[in-house]
Amino acid sequence: MDQQSTLSPATAEDPRLERLAGIAVRVGLGGLKPGQELLMTAPVEALPLVRLITEAAYRAGASLVTTLFSDDQSALARYRLATDDSFDVAPGWMYEAMAAAFRGGAARLAVVGEDPNLLAAQDPEKVARANRARSKAYRPALELITASAINWTLVPYATQAWARAVFPDLAPHEAQARLWEAVYSSTRVDRPDPEAEWARHNAALMERRRMLDAQRFRALHFRGPGTDLRVGLADGHSWMGGSSKARNGITGNPNIPTEEVFTTPHAAMTEGTVAATKPLAHAGTLISDIRVRFEGGRIVEAHAGTGEAVLNRLISTDEGARRLGEVALVPHSSPISQSGLLFFNTLFDENAACHIALGQAYKKCFTDSESMTDEQFTARGGNSSLIHVDWMIGSAETDLDGIGFDGQAVPLMRKGEWV
């Protein structure tokens, strides 16, 4: 056994954790402009990684790094002790300040590693109300992110609670160590030259994007167990995935890890039925066996094996919550899928399978996004909502065709793999 494998992967002494911090700043954010601020959010348990990211950001030229921490036990205290009317309250002042920071040019980095079961035992009505209040308050900041006004990224931290969900039969330390190995592998920091690996990976995703852009499909047709879904694509849509340039001129990777290429569906042109192929971890609740039916782009029927009440409250957030804001393609052979793990974390599970997202669409997924007005965005099929929630619909049994404007079907995937 080499020395690296004997180190605790949850500590700053593991050299891969420092590499992850470097990848977060140099690849995820694409670096920082001299004097650019960085606003970071993270769970308190992620402090070792936060400190390393902070150091990497200052080395990259940041003028100020500000971190907002979250704590699971404090979140649970609200559900145990707060008054009922408090669940309609969110810290709008904080989100307004975040939006002001982004308008001023600050970069955004989120360290994620939430407990997927945190709120499973809580009143789903209170959970839904709290989520709606937060989504409404966060909207000004979210709009700047979805429009790629700034460079931003998400990176993982293998918390103990997350590790317990992924490896429930292992001792806590072993579970966390196993999860860290999966994190390091999927983020490519276990390779001799992680940045070179990311450059090659981004180039491969760019080739896939160019192929799809050249096809100019009108719709995508998914078929699989419980799924016969036709997703219409927005007028003048463009495919994204891997690295992309923000409006501030910086090219980075919004997700670390990532295996997807994605674009914007037309809000009124999705028809048919679809069944989720993986559970959705949303707001501390697991929603499993999702089955929905679309008519005219809108969910008209929704069911789930567990968490159905949370699902129905989620899609009732606003009118746009019942419509699609993203469709993404991921082969079943992606490294995250081949790990054989169910991560109960959207950042990972969405990169193991084709997926769709309910809610807000990305303005950057249009050919002329920088000059597009809000009115043009809506007229061309872009969806608006307080939410953006991804869930997985692909598997080794999924077939996918692209549908041209002439109605002809072009095979894209068979049995979950690119043709």
Residue 285: pLDDT band (50, 70, 90) is confident
State residue 286's pLDDT score: 84
pLDDT at 144 over 80: yes
Contact 112, 161 (CB under 8 A): no
Alpha helices of 216-345 — where are they, by DSSP H?
308-314, 335-338
| DSSP annotation of 362 | P
More confident residue, 13 or 123: 123
CA distance 335 to 348: 10
CB-based contacts of 104: which residues, under 8 Å, 6+ apart? Answer: 37
State residue 277's pLDDT score: 95
With pLDDT > 70 as the criterion, what percentage of the chain qualifies? 97
CB-based burial label for 306 (10 Å; 0-12, 13-18, 19+): middle
How confident is the model over 179-189, as pLDDT tens digits? 999 999 999 99
Q: Which helix (H) or strand (E) holds 42?
A: strand 37-43
Token pair 């079961």 is at which residue?
A: 117
Q: Shortest CA distance to 37 belongs to which of 4, 67, 70?
A: 67
CB-based contacts of 82: which residues, under 8 Å, 6+ apart? Answer: none
Q: What is the mean pLDDT of the chain?
A: 94
Contact 300, 293 (CB under 8 A): yes
How confident is the model over 354-366, as pLDDT tens digits? 999 999 999 889 9
Q: Determine the residue type at 264.
A: T
Q: Cα 114 to the chain's mean position, in Å?
A: 13
Peptide bond into 257 cis (omega under 30): yes
CA distance 90 to 99: 15
Residue 128: pLDDT band (50, 70, 90) is confident
CA distance 73 to 75: 5
CA distance 350 to 181: 19
Order the strands of the 298-303 sheet from edge to edge: 298-303, 291-295, 265-275, 227-233, 219-224, 399-403, 409-414, 417-418
pLDDT at 12 over 70: no
Classify each residue of 163-180 as buried b or exposed e, where b means 16 or more C-beta atoms within 10 Å of its C-beta.
bbbbbeeeeeeebbbbbb
Locate 355 and state its tokens.
């997926």
In the chain, what are the domains?
3-186 (3.40.1830.10), 216-243+258-418 (no CATH)
Q: How far is CA 55 from CA 19, 39, 136, 185, 290, in A?
A: 12, 14, 33, 23, 42
CA distance 10 to 116: 19
Backbone phi, psi, residue 218, to 5°: -90, -30
